[in-house]
Structure 1
Amino acid sequence: MTGNDVDAARNEPVLSRALADAIEHLTADRLGLAEDIVRRHLNDHPDDVAALCILGDLAARAGVLSEAVDLFQRAVDLAPRYSEARFNLARVLARIAQIPRAISELTALLSADPSNLPATKLRLALLAQTGQHDRAVRERADLLRRRPHDPYLWIAQANELKTVGRREEAIAGFRHALALNPHAGEAWWGLANLKVGALAADDDVDAMLFAIEHAGEHWRRTIPTHFALARAFEDAGAYEPAFKHYSLGNALQRRTRDYDSATTTQEVDATIAQFTPSFAADVSNLGCLSRAPIFIVGMPRAGSTLVEQILASHSQVEGTSELPIIPALVNRKLGAERSRHDQTFSSVLARLDGTDLRSLGDEYIAGAAIYRHTDRPYFIDKLPTNWMDLALICTMLPNARIIDARRDALPCCFANWKQYFPLGHGFSNDLRDIAFYYRDYVRAMAHFQHVVPTRITRVDHTLLLENPEREIRALLEWLELPFEPACLTPHLTNRPVRTASSEQVRRPISTAGADLWRHFEPWLGEMKTALGDLA
């Protein structure tokens, strides 16, 4: 079969028996067998569109995204009308932060197939991700007029309305989704994540309990419902049932994730061993010399959104939220080599020369452009997990400033455990895993603070809440920015906020709520033990 063997009516490739067997293995998670069959088949039929797409799927699952892009692109070149190949190409491009190219592929797909719902949803998500929130709201509203009975479209729209600060409309959207499907856990969590007041205590608790009890085999959809129910109990002061449902939600979500705390520890060990003072001195001026990026790193739920909101209130700083560019660069440029040779990231980084580092830095700056919508000289990247890749950041962007947003261990770790994260943060579902992750983060930051002390400053969340003006003035001075009074009233800065802290940063800076975690302290012994001297 070749790329021309495409069913004209369906715009889909026709499968051979061998490829049908490969798909059967793929469905059963026998990935090695599936790959062997497909690669043998492609040796004889290099232009087989179906085989290219199956191998692309396998590469994407393995995290070798650059190879997946090449395979899906080859399939699209051979069969331009095959919508699934183009959609998968766009989806992998989005994963490696090539957003303009992904949107271009989706636009081409939708021009030929306007009713393609997955492509429409992905395009809207990418518009929102790149800060085009008003456009995403408008276009999704048009889609909802055509598909008014889709609860998950209503949930997506409500989340977008929450991002832009339209709280009451967001609540109405989540309620509408629940009227269509009372089992829609993401809608329950959407209401709960709007903090106090969005859930009606008794009626909503009963409805959530009913949804959980009647989920049957669909236990996955109860995960966000457990978190939402726990939040409702917490708001009502019923801390024991709240802890119970946080525990149940985390236990269920842990079953869906493959996280190993030992791997994180090993990666930190490798980074510390590689990024020595002599290594840092050797590469100190080899990367892109732009001073535009300001990175805010640390744990999730540690106050980084507040720090970003403060800085985004300054006339010279643009807040762009959590950019996916650094992880994408690691995967696209270094992931394939690491996968082939089972190498650590640090060992790959050690072989990069000045040209490589400048290219990576330039690519980061170019990639950030689509997320920027002002001409302010500085911009923020507040992806918390970037602390894992500080060795790359420090070498490819030697003039970038790095802010460590630090919150005390117990409140920070507990806040992570009780937060529902639909994607990522696999460490957050286990009290011990969170503690080990926090310890590795503190250990890594201490090392970088020692090796490149002038590049990093720490903002202590507790001190910031207790004395905002003192801490904000010190931060601006470290960034060499003039003081501006607007930074003291960040809640008045009108900008989209996508993170879980969107509601808090729209209120004046206050210590209110800082000690709510203490209501759960009797059940946190396991976390305290794992934290050790950091507890």
Structure 2
Amino acid sequence: SAVAGARLPGIRAALARPRAEPVERAQLLYALFKELDDQGDAGGAWEALAEGSAILRHASGHDRAAEARQFESVRSMDVASATPGTRDPEGQVPIFIVGMPRTGTTLLERILGNRPDTVALGERNDFDAAISLASDHFYRGGLHETDWRKLERMDYRDAGAIYLGRVAPADVQCRFFIDKNPQNFFNIGLILRALPHARILCLRRDPMDACFSNLKEVFEGGAYAYSYGFEDLAAHHHGYLGLLRHWKAVAPGSVHVVDYEDLVHDGDAALQAVLEFCGMQPVAGMLDITTNRAPVSTASSSQVRQPIHARGIGAWKRYAGPLAPLQALVEADRRPGDRSPGSDQA
């Protein structure tokens, strides 16, 4: 577009200046990628993205082996022998929406937030804070192996009560409230112990769309450090799906998987399954997210102001050539019955 094209000279001029900080240069390269991608210049866009992501990959210091140990630490949690937390089916029901970023977590939050009996709280760190307070140990989230010794004597009922005291809107008459911090995925085992009446909705998206949507985003504050390199992305995605299958098998009554493509292509059926899982009655108009005026502060803020659409599905195929090594890495994670990666269907 003419408006987008008008930004290009300024971006290129900024990139031409000497002595730019590496991360600043990377942010400019990502901006250049977006402008060129919007204009259909896939070659130039990829060149910018490849250079920018390489800078951020180096700056992130992401440790793939440490993350693999983290996934294993989470998987090893024994929920069955846990001291049960508070079951309160008559009270407010917490709904946790988790997943990799850019896989539909905000979209699902907006859909459920259209209900009059539901309050969307946004991305909160209150569960981590509740674990810290209940265990008397600073818990930074993510359930690393170093946390185990500190958490093993914790009273999970205390953690659940502290969490509810922090987030349950006492002054609002609501039956359900939504906590949409994607990183709570690492906390699922802790949530199952502390809040057995909670419902956990895990988003899943086509592997290439999920990984490409992460690769082309600059996440603030050093978050999602895995997202800037092919091997890191593929390993994280594989670990995520492995944990998703694990928790679905361990706690099928508490964990439900929502496929992004189903939300987009067959929203009524996907939503009906979510409502039944959460114990919600159907409400008219839930799929019309344009009527939801709640603020959004995530990377999806512009998309969720629009009606549900399929434009993001298959977006990676514009870059199928340079993304071929990533595709080879994630192909094992494609679900049986998925469309083939070469298909032009969206």
Q: Which residue in 2 is equivalent to 1:344?
A: 146
Distance of aligned partners of 1:343 and 1:317 in 2 relative to their CA distance in 1, 3 Å threshold: same
- Alignment partner of 1:294: what SS? strand
What is the rounded CA distance, in whole Å, between the counterparts of 2:83 and 2:179 in structure 1?
A: 21
Q: Which residue in 1 is equivalent to 2:119?
A: 318
1:486 partnered with 2:285: yes
2:201 to 388, 403, 412: 403
Q: Which residue in 1 is equivalent to 2:243?
A: 444
* Aligned partners of 2:15 and 2:28 also within 8 Å: yes
- What is the 5 A alignment of 1:38-187? none
Select the structure with the greater relative contact order (CA < 8 A; seq sep ≥ 6). 2
1:209 to 12, 19, 42: 12
* Aligned partners of 1:288 and 1:359 also within 8 Å: no
What is the rounded CA distance, in whole Å, between the counterparts of 1:302 and 1:274 in structure 2?
A: 26
Q: Which residue in 2 is equivalent to 1:455?
A: 254
- Alignment partner of 2:59: what SS? coil
Q: Which residue in 2 is equivalent to 1:309?
A: 110
Distance of aligned partners of 1:246 and 1:374 in 2 relative to their CA distance in 1, 3 Å threshold: farther
Residue 335 (structure 1) shift = 4.8
Q: Which residue in 2 is equivalent to 1:106?
A: none
- Alignment partner of 1:405: what SS? strand
What TM-score, normalized to structure 1? 0.58
RMSD of aligned alpha carbons: 2.3
Q: Which residue in 1 is equivalent to 2:218?
A: 420
Greater Rg by CA: 1
Aligned length: 327
What is the rounded CA distance, in whole Å, between the counterparts of 2:283 and 2:67 in structure 1?
A: 40
* Aligned partners of 1:334 and 1:345 also within 8 Å: no
Distance of aligned partners of 1:396 and 1:406 in 2 relative to their CA distance in 1, 3 Å threshold: same
Q: Which residue in 1 is equivalent to 2:96?
A: 295
Q: Which residue in 1 is equivalent to 2:268?
A: 469
1:253 partnered with 2:56: yes
What is the rounded CA distance, in whole Å, between the counterparts of 1:447 and 1:485 in structure 2?
A: 34
What is the rounded CA distance, in whole Å, between the counterparts of 1:288 and 1:369 in structure 2?
A: 15
Residue 301 (structure 1) shift = 0.5
Q: Which residue in 2 is equivalent to 1:515?
A: 314
* Aligned partners of 1:292 and 1:400 also within 8 Å: yes
Residue 258 (structure 1) shift = 2.6
Distance of aligned partners of 1:512 and 1:337 in 2 relative to their CA distance in 1, 3 Å threshold: closer
Query: Which ranges of structure 1 fall in alignment gaps of 5 or more residues?
Result: 1-196
Residue 220 (structure 1) shift = 2.6
Distance of aligned partners of 1:378 and 1:223 in 2 relative to their CA distance in 1, 3 Å threshold: same
Name the structure where helix makes up a greater proportion of residues: 1
* Aligned partners of 1:284 and 1:398 also within 8 Å: no
Q: Percent identity?
A: 27
* Aligned partners of 1:288 and 1:357 also within 8 Å: no
Query: Which ranges of structure 2 fall in alignment gaps of 5 or more residues?
Result: 335-346
Residue 351 (structure 1) shift = 3.1
Give per-residue Cα distances to partners, 1:354-374, cap 9 Å, x unaligned.
xx211111121122258x874
Letter in 1 for 2:305: R
Give per-residue Cα distances to partners, 1:385-415, cap 9 Å, x unaligned.
1111111111111111000111111100110
1:380 partnered with 2:178: yes
Residue 215 (structure 1) shift = 4.3
What TM-score, normalized to structure 2? 0.87
Q: Which runs of 4+ in 1 moved over 6 A?
A: none
What is the rounded CA distance, in whole Å, between the counterparts of 1:466 and 1:207 in structure 2?
A: 39
Distance of aligned partners of 1:360 and 1:376 in 2 relative to their CA distance in 1, 3 Å threshold: same
